Amino acid sequence: MRTVASFVGRTAAWIVILAAVTVIVVAVLIPRIAGATPYTILTGSMQPAYPPGTLVVVRPVDDTDDLSVGDVVTVQLESGEETVVTHRIVEIQHRADSQTQFITKGDANDVPDAEPRMPVQVRGEVWYSIPYLGYISTALTGSQRSWLVTAIAVGLIGYAAWMFTGAWRERRRRAGAKPAEQAVGDERDQTTDPKDHSLDTE
């Protein structure tokens, strides 16, 4: 019973470790490596695809001419401003001056956004998303996120090392116990029954 409980405990611990590592990789490491930016969906305008609290990872678009109707993009509300919105492109217009502009709309909204978006306002296209993780990201500052990622990474590495060390010690203990059990068994086999050496007095 103790062995089963130990196995279940180790399995659960490794599942937690793998889940935490996966979150760190998809929410932090991959965006940094790819030059992408994580954003948090704050409103319900993109439901049901991206409900509030969803973390969307947005990667830059090299050429906005590659964008098409149906793509979900993150755009500045005003050119040069930090405030952004993540909506879907519902129409692409080409003006008389050869400029392209994008008509965007939230999936849950009845009408398109009031202002068309110019290519310079496009921050990128949604690459992938993670439900609910945006709540955590919003609650933490940039420095806090970096500190938390480092702390979690160190903790996971330390816990993994402790698990491996414990498993290694357990294997050594079992390996040492087997020869001892064998030796005891051999001694028992070599012990003779006194009845076999009783003297015949008749």
CA–CA dist 106, 109 (Å, integer): 5
The answer to whether the Cα torsion of 164, 165, 166, 169 is positive or negative is positive
Q: Count other Cβ atoms within 10 Å, centred on residue 126.
A: 22
Give the pLDDT confidence score for residue 86 in this predicted structure: 97
Question: How does pLDDT run across 8-63, given as a tens digit for each residue?
Answer: 777 777 787 777 777 777 777 788 888 999 999 999 999 999 999 999 999 999 99
Q: Which residues, in sequence order, are bridge partners of residue 122?
A: 75
The yes or no reply on domain 2-155 and CATH 2.10.109.10 is yes
pLDDT, the chain, mean:
80
Distance of CA 194 to the CA centre of its chain: 70
pLDDT score, position 178? 59
Q: Which two tokens stand for residue 183?
A: 């030796």
Whether 176 shows a pLDDT value over 90: the answer reads no
